[in-house]
Amino acid sequence: MTHDTWAKVQSTLKGALGANNFSSWIEPLAFSDLSAGVMTFHVPTNFIGNYVSQNFGDQIIYHMNQKGAAVRRLEFAVPANKASAVSAPKTATAPKPTATADISGAPLDQRFTFDTFVVGKPNELAHAAARRVADGGPVTFNPLFLYGGVGLGKTHLMHAIAHELKQRSPELNVLYLSAEQFMYRFITALRERKMMDFKQLFRSVDVLMVDDVQFIGGKDSTQEEFFHTFNALVDGQKQIIISADRAPGEIKDLEERIKSRLQCGLVVDLHPTDYELRLGILQSKVEVYAAQYPDLEIANGVLEFLAHRISTNVRVLEGALTRLFAFASLVGREITLELTQDCLSDVLKASDRKVTVEEIQRKVSEHYNIRLSDMIGPKRVRNYARPRQVAMYLAKRMTSRSLPEIGRRFGGRDHTTVMHGVKRIEELKITDSQIADDLELLRRALEE
Ligand SMILES: Nc1ncnc2c1ncn2[C@@H]1O[C@H](COP(=O)(O)OP(=O)(O)OP(=O)(O)O)[C@@H](O)[C@H]1O
C-alpha cells in the first residue's frame, strides 16, 4: 500500500519538480519502510539524503499525507554495503518537518558568510544593509527587503546575516526558511489542526528570514497568515528579512496590504554583476580551489575571459569554475584558454552575449576612425593592422568563434595570422596603456 502511495507521490513530484530535478534527486530514493510516521529511504550517498531532506523534504511529507499516508518525518540511510564507501555519517535525518514539532528552519550553508561575499558596485548597498542588520542592536529598518535576479547573492547575504547574528548572540532565535517552506508548514499545521502552535512558533522568533517571497503570490491563505506573522513580529520589534526576485510592488498576485508592508523598511536591490565584480568573485573562488588542487596552474587571461563571457549570474560562473578545475585535474593539464573553451563550450555558448565578429569590426573601425573595408582588406600599414589585431583579439575573447572562423571574417586570413594578432595584443595590453584603455572602452561599448 505504502509503495503504491509513494509511486503516486513520485509522479506528482515529477510534475512539480521537473524531469531534471526528479531524475537527479527523487529517482535515486529507494523507499524502505514507513512506521510510526517515520518514512525511511535508502539513498546511494549521504549527500543525496541531505539534499533531498533540505530541499524536498516538506513536499514529500505533504504529498504523502495528501494521499492518505501519515508521515511526520523522513529518514535517509545509506545501505550498509554502500556506507563503507562514504565517509559521512550513516544516516541523514530530515529537519523535523511538522511546523508544530520544532522551530528549525532550513539549514544554513556554511560557505555563505560575509567573508566569502565579494563586494562590488552592483551589490555594495545590499551588502551594507545586510551588515547593518547583522550587527544587531535596535531594529532600524524593518523589514530589510533584498531583491534581484537569479543567482546574484540574496540567499548568500541572508545566510551571512544569520551566521553573524548567531555568532554574536547565540541565544537569539533566528529562523531562516523559504517562502515555500513557510507555506508547507502552514498547510501541515492547518491539516493537523495545530494552528495555535504554528502561530506561537513563528511569533516566538527574534529574527525571521523568508527567502523567495514571490512564491506566495496567488496563494491567498498563505499570504493571509504571512501578513499576520509579519505584523506580530514587527509589533514586537523583531527583525524581519525578506528576499524576492523583484521589488515588492512588482510581485504578481500579492495583496496590496502586504506589498505596502514590505516596502515599509529598507528595500535594496542587487544589480546584475559587472565585469569587475565577476572577476573579483572568480579570483576569490580560485583561492579556495588553489588549496584544493595545489598542482593545478591557471594561465593568465582565463579568469578575465570567463568574467567577460559569462555574465548571466554568479551561480553559473561558479559552476563553470568548478567544472573547469575538476576537468583540468582529471586530465592533469594547466588551465589554459583553449582548455577552458573546450571544457565549457556549452556554457559559453548559452551565455554568449551574441556579440558578433561583425559588430566588433564595426565598433573597432569607428573607434580608430578607419573604414571597415580597410580593416578587413589586405593593406598591412600599421594604421590598419593594429586596429585589425585589436578586433581579432576582441573576437577571440568575446565570441565563441574559432581562429579559422575569425580569419575567414577578416578577408579570408589564415588562422595563424589571427593567432599572431591575438598574441600581439595580449603583449601590448601589458606594456601599452593606450591599447589597454582602448580595449577596455571597446569591451564596455560592445557589452552594452
Ligand atoms: N558577491 C558574491 N560573492 C561571492 N559569491 C557570490 C556573490 N554573489 C553570489 N555568490 C554566489 O553565487 C551563488 C548564488 O547565490 P545565491 O544563492 O545567494 O543567489 P540568489 O540571489 O539567492 O539566487 P536565487 O534567486 O536563485 O535564489 C552562491 O553560491 C553564492 O555564494
pLDDT tens, 247-263? 999 898 999 999 999 99
pLDDT exceeds 60 at position 86 = no
Confidence of residue 145 (pLDDT cuts 50, 70, 90): very high
- The DSSP H or E segment spanning 272 is none
- Contacting residues for 431 by C-beta, under 8 A, at least 6 apart: none
The set of cell numbers assigned to 1 is 500500500
Query: What separation in Å is there between the alpha carbon of 201 and the centre of ligand 1?
Result: 29
Binding-site residue ranges: 151, 153-155
pLDDT exceeds 90 at position 87 = no
Of 60, 84, 82, nearest in space to 71 by CA: 60
pLDDT of residue 96: 34
151 lines ligand 1 (CB under 6 A): yes
pLDDT exceeds 60 at position 97 = no
152 lines ligand 1 (CB under 6 A): yes
Q: Any idea what DSSP says for residue 307?
A: H
- CA atoms in the 13 A half-sphere facing the CB of 58: 23
> Which whole number is the average pLDDT over 188-204?
89
* Placement of cell 528576499 in the chain: 243
153 lines ligand 1 (CB under 6 A): yes
Q: Which atom of ligand 1 is nearest to the CA of 245?
A: 25
Exposure string over 124-163, b if 16+ CB within 10 A, otherwise e: ebbbebbbebbebeebebbbbbbbbeebbbbbbbbbbbbb
pLDDT exceeds 60 at position 98 = no
CATH of the domain spanning 121-270:
3.40.50.300
Mean pLDDT, the chain, whole residue set: 87
> Which whole number is the average pLDDT over 261-280?
92
> Which whole number is the average pLDDT over 175-197?
91
Cα–Cα distance for residue pair 303/346, rounded to 1 Å: 17
Ligand 1 atom 10 nearest Cα: 153
pLDDT tens digits, one per residue of 289-325: 888 888 888 999 999 999 988 887 898 899 999 999 9
410 lines ligand 1 (CB under 6 A): no
pLDDT exceeds 90 at position 65 = no
CATH top-level class of 357-447: mainly alpha
Query: What separation in Å is there between the alpha carbon of 316 and the centre of ligand 1?
Result: 10
Parallel, antiparallel, or unpaired: how do β-strands 239-244 and 91-93 relate?
unpaired
> Which whole number is the average pLDDT over 116-131?
96
Query: What separation in Å is there between the alpha carbon of 121 and the centre of ligand 1?
Result: 15
Confidence of residue 351 (pLDDT cuts 50, 70, 90): low
Binding-site residue ranges for ATP: 151, 153-155
Cα–Cα distance for residue pair 266/127, rounded to 1 Å: 13
311 lines ligand 1 (CB under 6 A): no
pLDDT exceeds 90 at position 43 = no
pLDDT of residue 45: 73
User: Could you tell me the pTM of the whole model?
Assistant: 0.63
pLDDT of residue 92: 33
314 lines ligand 1 (CB under 6 A): yes
> Which whole number is the average pLDDT over 130-149?
91
pLDDT of residue 286: 94
Sheet holding 30-35, edge to edge: 30-35, 38-42, 73-77, 91-93
- Contacting residues for 404 by C-beta, under 8 A, at least 6 apart: 415, 418
The set of cell numbers assigned to 12 is 506528482
Of 213, 198, 185, 112, nearest in space to 155 by CA: 112
Q: Which atom of ligand 1 is nearest to the CA of 158?
A: 18
117 lines ligand 1 (CB under 6 A): yes
* C-alpha dihedral sign at 417, 421, 426, 432: positive
Query: What separation in Å is there between the alpha carbon of 414 and the centre of ligand 1?
Result: 42
pLDDT of residue 276: 92
Amino acid at 196: M
Domain spanning 275-350, CATH architecture:
Orthogonal Bundle (1.10)
Q: Which atom of ligand 1 is nearest to the CA of 152?
A: 21
pLDDT exceeds 90 at position 18 = no
pLDDT of residue 448: 64
pLDDT of residue 440: 84
pLDDT exceeds 80 at position 238 = yes
Burial class (CB within 10 angstroms; exposed 0-12, middle 13-18, buried 19+) of 19: exposed
Cα–Cα distance for residue pair 22/196, rounded to 1 Å: 35
Query: What separation in Å is there between the alpha carbon of 282 and the centre of ligand 1?
Result: 13
Query: What separation in Å is there between the alpha carbon of 363 and the centre of ligand 1?
Result: 33
Domain boundaries, the chain: 2-93, 121-270, 275-350, 357-447
Confidence of residue 81 (pLDDT cuts 50, 70, 90): low
Confidence of residue 104 (pLDDT cuts 50, 70, 90): low
pLDDT of residue 353: 60
- Contacting residues for 358 by C-beta, under 8 A, at least 6 apart: 409
Confidence of residue 340 (pLDDT cuts 50, 70, 90): very high
245 lines ligand 1 (CB under 6 A): yes
Ligand 1 atom 20 nearest Cα: 151
Residue of 276, 312, 314 to test ligand 1 pocket, by largest number of atoms within 8 Å of CB:
314
Confidence of residue 88 (pLDDT cuts 50, 70, 90): very low
pLDDT of residue 160: 97
Q: ipTM beyond 0.95?
A: yes
pLDDT exceeds 50 at position 99 = no
123 lines ligand 1 (CB under 6 A): yes
357 lines ligand 1 (CB under 6 A): no
178 lines ligand 1 (CB under 6 A): no
Parallel, antiparallel, or unpaired: how do β-strands 207-211 and 91-93 relate?
unpaired
pLDDT of residue 100: 29
Ligand 1 atom 28 nearest Cα: 315
Q: Which atom of ligand 1 is nearest to the CA of 270?
A: 21
Q: Which atom of ligand 1 is nearest to the CA of 156?
A: 18
Q: Any idea what DSSP says for residue 88?
A: S
Helices (H) and strands (E) in the chain, counts: 22, 9
pLDDT exceeds 90 at position 25 = no
pLDDT of residue 20: 74
- Contacting residues for 237 by C-beta, under 8 A, at least 6 apart: 138, 139
> Which whole number is the average pLDDT over 106-112?
88
- The Cα-based distances of 109 to 130, 277, 352 in angstroms read 17, 22, 30
Query: What separation in Å is there between the alpha carbon of 365 and the centre of ligand 1?
Result: 38
- The Cα-based distances of 378 to 183, 360, 372, 413 in angstroms read 67, 18, 12, 9
> Which whole number is the average pLDDT over 364-385?
92
Burial class (CB within 10 angstroms; exposed 0-12, middle 13-18, buried 19+) of 77: buried
pLDDT of residue 107: 83
Query: What separation in Å is there between the alpha carbon of 155 and the centre of ligand 1?
Result: 6
Amino acid at 131: R
**Fold (topology level) of 2-93:** GMP Synthetase; Chain A, domain 3 (3.30.300)
Q: Which atom of ligand 1 is nearest to the CA of 314?
A: 12
